[in-house]
C-alpha cells in the first residue's frame, strides 16, 4: 500500500476527528522475530560497552588510549549504564515518517543537541539568580525543586516552555525541551520521548510546563478520564504544572495557578498537589515501561 492508501484506509475504517499516522519500516530476522534489528544491534553494543567499561574500571584504566573515530558519537569513553549512543537513537528516525491523517501531509520532526554554553549560563544566573542545588532524590522527591525553578522562570519571563528531565535512579541523565504546534504533534513528541527513555534506560521522568487547567467534572471524576480538555473549556485557568513518574509505578505532581496583573506582571500561587493528569500526559512513556517490564517469577 502507498502512504496515501494507508491514510485513506485509516479514515475509512475509523473516521478519526484528527491525529497522526506513523509509517515505519522494520528490519526483522526470522531467528529474532520480536526484535527490530537496529534495536537488537543497539542493545548488543550497549551491553558490550558496559562489559568493557566494567573491565577497564577493574583494571584501573579511566580512558582508553585509542585514536579518534570517524563517528562523533563513538569515543574512548565507555558507558557502564548499558545505554546506546545518541546516534543509534536518531538513526531510527530515517526508518519512519509521520503524517497528518486528515490533510495527508508529512509532519517533520527534529532532534537537536545543544552544547552547554558557559556564557549563556552566566547570563541566566544574572537574570534568574543562582539556581538552588538539585534535590538529592529521585523524580518523585524532586517535584518541589522543579516547581520552585519553574515558578522562578514563569514570574521572571511571563511564560514557560515545556522541559523534560530524565532520571536513572536518583541521577538526572538528560534534560531537554519539547516544542510542538498541535495536539497531534504533541502526542508524537511524547511517543518519541518514550523511545528516548527506553534507549537511555531511564526509570524516571519529570515534565514541567505551562498549561491550561480546569477542575474535572463529576462525570470525569467517576470515569477517571478527561472528556473535555481544559483548553476547550470556558472556565479554564492558566497554570504551571510539574508531573513525575517512575517505572516502579509511583506518580507525583504539583500545580501552581498563574495570575497576571494590570501591567502583565506574572504571579504564581503556592503549589498544590495535582497528579491526576500524569497518566494522560505521560501515557506513551508509561506504556513503554509496561511493554518492556522484566517478567517476574
137-177: pLDDT as tens digits? 899 999 999 999 999 999 999 999 999 999 999 999 888 99
pLDDT digits (tens, 9 = 90+) for 26-57: 889 999 998 889 888 888 888 888 888 888 88
pLDDT score recorded for residue 162? 94
**How crowded is residue 134: how many other Cβ atoms within 10 Å of its Cβ?**
14
The predicted model scores a pTM of 0.80
What's 264's DSSP letter?
-
Above 80 in pLDDT, residue 296? no
List the beta bridge partners of residue 97: 23
> Cα–Cα distance between 5 and 204 in angstroms, integer?
39
Question: Closest by alpha carbon to 28, among 95, 124, 100?
Answer: 95
231-237, long-range: CB < 8 A, 24+ apart: 236/212, 237/212, 237/213
User: Under 8 Å CB-to-CB from 231, ≥6 apart: which residues?
Assistant: 212
pLDDT score recorded for residue 247? 95
Mean pLDDT of the chain: 85
User: First vs last Cα of the chain: how many Å apart?
Assistant: 43
Spatial contact of 234 and 212, defined as CB atoms under 8 Å apart? no
Taking CA atoms, 254 is separated from 146, 248, 273, 279, in Å, by: 10, 20, 4, 14
Above 60 in pLDDT, residue 278? yes
> Cα–Cα distance between 22 and 101 in angstroms, integer?
9
Length of the chain: 297
Weakest mean pLDDT among 45-49, 60-64, 239-243: 60-64
pLDDT score recorded for residue 30? 93
pLDDT score recorded for residue 297? 46
Amino acid at each position: 500500500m502507498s502512504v496515501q492508501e494507508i491514510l485513506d484506509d485509516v479514515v475509512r475504517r475509523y473516521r478519526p476527528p484528527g491525529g497522526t499516522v506513523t509509517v515505519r519500516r522494520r528490519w526483522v530476522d526470522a531467528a529474532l522475530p520480536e526484535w527490530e534489528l537496529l534495536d537488537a544491534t543497539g542493545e548488543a553494543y550497549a551491553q558490550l560497552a558496559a562489559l568493557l567499561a566494567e573491565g577497564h574500571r577493574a583494571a584501573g584504566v579511566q580512558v582508553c588510549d585509542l585514536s579518534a573515530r570517524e563517528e562523533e558519537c563513538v569515543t574512548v569513553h565507555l558507558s557502564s549504564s548499558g545505554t546506546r549512543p545518541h546516534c543509534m537513537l536518531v538513526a531510527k528516525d530515517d526508518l519512519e515518517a509521520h503524517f497528518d491523517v486528515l490533510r495527508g501531509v508529512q509532519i517533520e520532526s527534529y532532534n537537536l543537541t545543544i552544547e552547554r554554553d558557559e556564557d549563556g549560563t552566566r547570563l541566566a544566573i544574572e537574570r534568574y539568580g543562582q539556581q538552588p542545588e538539585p534535590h538529592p532524590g529521585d523524580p518523585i522527591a524532586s517535584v518541589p525543586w522543579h516547581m520552585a525553578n519553574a515558578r522562578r522562570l514563569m514570574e521572571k519571563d511571563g511564560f514557560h516552555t515545556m522541559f523534560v528531565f530524565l532520571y536513572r535512579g536518583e541521577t538526572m541523565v538528560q534534560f531537554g525541551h519539547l516544542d510542538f504546534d498541535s495536539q497531534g504533534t504533541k502526542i508524537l513528541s511524547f511517543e518519541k520521548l518514550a523511545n528516548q527513555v527506553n534507549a537511555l534506560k531511564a526509570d524516571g521522568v519529570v515534565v514541567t510546563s505551562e498549561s491550561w487547567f480546569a477542575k474535572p467534572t463529576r462525570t470525569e471524576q467517576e470515569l477517571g478520564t478527561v472528556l473535555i480538555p481544559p483548553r476547550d473549556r470556558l472556565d479554564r485557568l492558566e497554570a504551571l504544572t510539574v508531573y513525575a513518574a517512575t517505572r516502579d509505578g509511583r506518580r507525583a505532581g504539583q500545580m501552581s495557578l498563574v495570575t497576571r496583573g494590570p501591567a502583565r506582571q506574572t504571579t504564581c500561587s503556592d503549589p498544590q498537589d495535582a497528579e491526576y493528569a500524569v497518566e494522560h500526559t505521560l501515557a506513551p512513556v508509561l506504556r513503554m515501561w509496561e511493554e518492556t517490564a522484566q517478567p517476574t517469577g
